Amino acid sequence: MNDVKRNWTGNIQLGVKADHDVVLKQLCKAFNACPFFRYSGMVMRVVDDQIEGYFEMQPELIGNVAFQILHGGVAATMLDSIGGVVAMEQLYRRSSPEDLPDTIKKVSRLATVDMRVDYLSPGRGKYFIARAETLRLGRKGCTMRMTMVNDEEKPIATAIASYAF
């Protein structure tokens, strides 16, 4: 496995049960190295033993200039990203040392199949946080529910997505 693929899949070592705390941190590190995340100021971080997405409002992220509202595509990108990284984490959580090579393969090819976003409120706030939960984790794919809130914990957008691996 090359370095890029190893880094993207969280740099998890074969043959041992992956420490959950290490998995969380490594997946965040992999996502945070993504050029688009660095460009947009989006970061994945571990809070209360879960991965969450975080970014601050910036002028470059505004979609509605007249009302200074976050671009819907930015919200959708964060929701899709948090859904994917939490799905990866769930695959590792469920994996045994014997299954780890297959799990790393699944993580490396995880891709969004379908996503529906509902915009609940105008995207106003100093910062935004996105979280995800697993609705179903199967052998070949999963379904995730994601929510993004602003600095006042007001729901801005929610999504449901299917990922294949």
pTM for this entry: 0.89
Sorted by sequence, the CB contacts under 8 Å of residue 12 that are 6+ apart come out as 18, 22, 23, 26, 92, 100, 104
Residue-wise pLDDT for 58-117, tens only, equals 999 999 999 999 999 999 999 999 999 999 999 999 999 899 999 999 999 999 999 999
Considering only CA atoms, which of 146, 153, 112 is closest in space to residue 132? 146
pLDDT of the residue at 129: 98
State the maximum Cα–Cα separation within the chain, in Å, rounded to a whole number.
56
Give the sign of the dihedral formed by CA 121, CA 51, CA 91, CA 72: positive
CATH code of domain 20-164: 3.10.129.10
Indicate the domain borders of the chain.
20-164
Sign of dihedral through CA atoms 64, 67, 68, 69? negative
Whether residue 138 is predicted with pLDDT greater than 70 in this model: the reply is: yes
pLDDT at 1 over 80: no
How confident is the model over 122-135, as pLDDT tens digits? 999 999 999 999 99
**DSSP H or E segment with residue 100:** helix 100-109
Percent of the chain with pLDDT over 70: 89
CA of residue 116 relative to chain centroid, distance: 15
Closest CA relative to residue 87, chosen from 42, 27, 130, 43: 27
The pLDDT tens digits for 11-35 are 566 656 668 899 999 999 999 999 9
